[in-house]
């Protein structure tokens, strides 16, 4: 049973309202909205100011398990809302637990599409566990601006 269905079943049995429970995790619509907000912020404020906001927990671009990341199309991490240690690193050869070259795939997808969804596995900053993730990305010049949802 998917986490969402299980959580809803538990909520019904416990008498908890489902909307309150579902607010614990970000949705795909919220990921899309976050990326669009981030792209607009880069456009209005410039990359340096925007990336600083994305990297800050109180910069307005982190919400529960949802955060913004920006990759150069060369695989370099330009901004990361969950793990500042990754900023500036070339992750083109990074693999998830299944051996998927997710950054390489992401940059290749960004070269071919203006926006897209990508599946891979990554550490959830809330649960601290490796979970399946869907990342929504939008290409902006020579970057991919992304935010994703965990779907375990």
Burial class, 148, CB count within 10 angstroms (exposed 0-12 / middle 13-18 / buried 19+): buried
Q: Which fold has domain 23-150?
A: Beta-Lactamase (3.30.450)
| Domain spans in the chain, listed from the N-terminal domain onward | 23-150
Residue-wise over 24-45: b if at least 16 C-beta within 10 A, else e? ebbeeebbbbbbeebbebbeee
Q: What is the pLDDT of residues 1-38, one digit of tens each?
A: 444 333 333 333 333 333 344 468 899 999 999 999 99
79 - beta bridge partners?
Answer: 70
Identify the band that residue 118 occupies on the pLDDT scale cut at 50, 70 and 90.
Answer: very high
Give me the phi and psi of 117, to 5 degrees please.
-110, 145
Q: What percentage of residues in the chain have a pLDDT greater than 70?
A: 84
pLDDT digits (tens, 9 = 90+) for 138-148: 999 999 999 99
What is the mean pLDDT of the segment spanning 38-45?
Answer: 98
| Residue with more model confidence, 46 or 20 | 46
**pTM exceeding 0.75:** yes
Which residue in this structure is represented by tokens 């008498």? 15
Nearest to 67, CA basis, from 52, 77, 76, 80: 80
């Amino acid at each position: 049973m998917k986490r969402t269905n299980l959580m809803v079943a538990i909520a019904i049995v416990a008498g908890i309202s489902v909307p309150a429970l579902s607010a614990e995790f970000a949705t795909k619509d919220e990921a899309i909205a976050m990326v669009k907000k981030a792209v607009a912020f880069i456009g209005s404020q410039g990359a340096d100011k925007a990336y600083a906001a994305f990297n800050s927990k109180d910069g307005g671009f982190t919400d529960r398990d949802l955060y913004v990341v920006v990759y150069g199309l060369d695989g370099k991490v330009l901004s990361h809302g969950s793990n500042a240690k990754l900023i500036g690193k070339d992750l083109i050869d990074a693999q998830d637990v299944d051996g998927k070259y997710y950054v390489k795939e992401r940059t290749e997808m960004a070269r071919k599409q203006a926006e897209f969804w990508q599946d891979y596995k990554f550490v959830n900053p809330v649960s601290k566990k490796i979970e399946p993730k869907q990342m929504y990305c939008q290409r902006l010049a020579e970057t991919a601006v992304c935010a994703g949802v965990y779907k375990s």
